[in-house]
Amino acid sequence: MRLLALLCFVWGLSLPSLAQERTFDKKDQPPKPTPMTGDMLHVRNGKPGQLKEKIGPDAITRVRRLTIEGLLNGEDIKLIRKICDRTTCKNEKGRTIDNFVDLDLTRANIVNSYNSDRDIISNDMFADMDRLRTIRLPEHTREIGRRAFYNCDKLEMVDMPGSVRVIGDEAFRRCDRLQTIHLSRSLTQIGKNAFQGCKDLRRIILPQELSTIGQEAFKGCGLNDIQLNSHLQTLGWNALADNPLRTIYIPRNTHIDGGQPGNNPQLQQIDVEQGNREYTSVGGVLYDYDMTTLLLYPGAKSGMLNVPNGVTTIAAYACSNCPITHVFLPATVNSIEEGAFMGCVNLQQISIPEAVSSISASTFSGCKNLHSIQLPMQLTSIGSSAFQNCVSLQGLLIPQTLTSIGAHAFQECDALSVLTIPSYVTKIPDGCFRNCKGLQTVVLHNGITSIGSEAFRGCLTMTHLILPNSLLTIGNEAFRSCSSMHEFVIPASVTEIGSKPFIKCEQLQRIVCRGA
């Protein structure tokens, strides 16, 4: 009996200690997964780094409508990326279905992690998440970083809070399906290429505080209308290019980088607010304030372009891809910049004023119906690709003052048949006359020292070419596919010949080398 009492006494003493050993601190227990409703999940994440446990392994494969509250760090963002990167997911019955993700982070806070300061959507944070459909950003977000949503090609809607002040470069570039974005009322800066290629973006309301829009920020979007506010100080080069805009309105305080807001085939006119001291508009055409430079000719204006007297410069790409048929330039014009008339496929005739000394690169490239052009008698240079693909150009008279010709300058000028290169020119550059299928005769004067790679490639009808005694080098495949040539005489002056210069010259019968 005493032994039994003793055992009971010992057992009674040990019970509290055993109970104490079996007690767990609740703080050390892993959080339980939050229950789902269909494909919806609302998670409250109290501690950074615990999102995986709060969502749970089942929901990670199933959730499509995800709302998150609380603190998020880099590990949590990686998990969100994983969910947004699933091609498929499981439904309640375990069947595989297409995935999309609607993500609501309104009540979330991004802490210092994932290469980011607090409350910043960092560079590349959600880039290439091609199953992200909608997102509501955290309510305290201050900045959206570079390429933050780059190439999210299923993204349709973005809701940003009023605290966002900066959208970084390329932040939403190539978000092809983006239709709706609610910009912050505090937004002051949109970076370059920020929305480039957002083809489904038809309308956007710019906040009044916005002061800077970067270059090509909205290039290639589907904008039918955009209102630039009076506070806008800088509009980047080509910021509005390739949108179906009919009118562009330049506010009084706005400076345009490069003077080129961007053209498109639907653009009918450009208007400038009264009081702007940098630009003016006449007949819907954009000029600088003093009307000495033609900056942009609307892409939908067809027919004849009559440039006013006093204009000295046609700016780079000012009239590119416009449906004009004839251009009349005043004698005051002394500079025509790169690509000024590039792609004007309806342009038939133009006379260049005598004050112009150089034809810039790509100036008339792609003017397929240009059959006649009068060059100034004091012309000294023709830039690269200046007349490339001018397939109708014929009877071109090159002035004797010319000293240089750029690469591919006359490539694919099919209608050219006879051409004389002036004596001051020393080099025939790469691809200069490539695929000039109708070119029969080219006269090269003494002074030419080099013929570049593929310079005469594809000149199918060329039958006669005398290489000058000043020639030193012949480039790779320089005369490839000159299928009508019967003979080449290589002067003794030549010291270097590139690879396969006469390949595929099918009727070539003889090559004479004057040197050793």
What is the distance between the alpha carbons of residues 387 and 373, in angstroms, rounded to a whole number? 11
Evaluate whether residue 424 is within a structural domain. yes
Domain limits for position 427: 417-516
Token pair for 473:
């080098």
Burial class (CB in 10 A: 0-12, 13-18, 19+), 258: middle
**4 has pLDDT over 50:** no
Give the per-residue pLDDT at 111.
Answer: 84
Give the per-residue pLDDT at 1.
Answer: 44
Tens digits of per-residue pLDDT, 258-315? 899 999 999 999 999 999 999 999 999 999 999 999 999 999 999 999 999 999 999 9
Tens digits of per-residue pLDDT, 423-432? 999 999 999 9
Tens digits of per-residue pLDDT, 390-401? 999 998 999 999
Give the per-residue pLDDT at 116.
Answer: 59
Evaluate whether residue 484 is within a structural domain. yes
What is the distance between the alpha carbons of residues 423 and 412, in angstroms, rounded to a whole number? 24
The average pLDDT across 451-462 equals: 97
Tokens 């090269």 found at: 444
Cβ–Cβ contacts within 10 Å for residue 253, how many? 17
Evaluate whether residue 487 is within a structural domain. yes
Using alpha carbons only, give the angle 257, 262, 264 rounded to the nearest 5 degrees: 175
Tens digits of per-residue pLDDT, 43-84? 999 899 999 999 999 888 889 999 999 999 989 999 999 999
Query: How far apart, in Å, are the Cα atoms of 485 and each of 420, 461, 478?
Result: 18, 8, 13
- Could you tell me if 469 and 492 are in contact, meaning their C-beta atoms sit under 8 angstroms apart? yes
Q: What's the gap between Cα 114 and its chain centre?
A: 28
What is the distance between the alpha carbons of residues 62 and 382, in angstroms, rounded to a whole number? 63
Evaluate whether residue 202 is within a structural domain. no
- Could you tell me if 223 and 201 are in contact, meaning their C-beta atoms sit under 8 angstroms apart? yes
Phi-psi region of 329 (alpha: psi -120 to 50; beta: other; left: phi over 0): beta
Evaluate whether residue 367 is within a structural domain. no
Tens digits of per-residue pLDDT, 340-350? 999 999 999 99
Element housing 451 (H / E) = strand 450-451
Evaluate whether residue 516 is within a structural domain. yes
What is the distance between the alpha carbons of residues 290 and 165, in angstroms, rounded to a whole number? 35
Evaluate whether residue 163 is within a structural domain. no
Tens digits of per-residue pLDDT, 175-211? 999 999 999 999 999 999 999 999 999 999 999 999 9
How does DSSP classify residue 94? S
Sign of CA dihedral 483, 484, 486, 487: negative
Question: Residue 29 — very low, low, confident or very high, per pLDDT cuts 50/70/90?
Answer: low
Q: What is the arrangement of strands in the sheet containing 473-474, beginning at the earlier edge strand?
A: 427-428, 450-451, 473-474, 496-497
**246 has pLDDT over 90:** yes
SS3 readout for 257-279: HHHCCCCCCCCCEEEECCCCCCE
Rg of the chain over Cα atoms, rounded to whole angstroms, equals 34
Element housing 12 (H / E) = helix 2-21
DSSP 25-84: -GGGSPPPPPPPBTTEEEEEE-STT-HHHHH-HHHHHH-SEEEEEEEE-HHHHHHHHHHH
Q: Is residue 2 helix, strand or coil? A: helix
Element housing 249 (H / E) = strand 247-250
Element housing 182 (H / E) = strand 180-182
Cβ–Cβ contacts within 10 Å for residue 445, how many? 15
Question: Residue 22 — very low, low, confident or very high, per pLDDT cuts 50/70/90?
Answer: very low
**463 has pLDDT over 70:** yes
Average pLDDT over the chain reads 92
Tokens 């330039």 found at: 329
Q: Quick one: which of 310, 228, 218, 329 has its CA closest to 264?
A: 218
**118 has pLDDT over 90:** no
Per the structure, the count of domains in the chain is: 1
Phi-psi region of 56 (alpha: psi -120 to 50; beta: other; left: phi over 0): left
Percentage of the chain modeled with pLDDT above 90: 84
Token pair for 197:
């290629």
How does DSSP classify residue 307? P
The average pLDDT across 163-180 equals: 98
- The CATH number given to whatever domain includes residue 475 is 3.80.10.10
Question: Residue 87 — very low, low, confident or very high, per pLDDT cuts 50/70/90?
Answer: confident
The average pLDDT across 443-472 equals: 95
Using alpha carbons only, give the angle 10, 15, 17 rounded to the nearest 5 degrees: 105
The average pLDDT across 492-501 equals: 95
Query: Strand runs (DSSP E) across 273-429, as ranges?
Result: 279-282, 285-288, 293-296, 303-306, 313-314, 324-328, 335-336, 349-351, 358-359, 372-374, 381-382, 404-405, 418-421, 427-428
Evaluate whether residue 460 is within a structural domain. yes
**101 has pLDDT over 70:** yes
Give the per-residue pLDDT at 28.
Answer: 56
Q: Is residue 443 helix, strand or coil? A: strand
- Could you tell me if 371 and 394 are in contact, meaning their C-beta atoms sit under 8 angstroms apart? yes
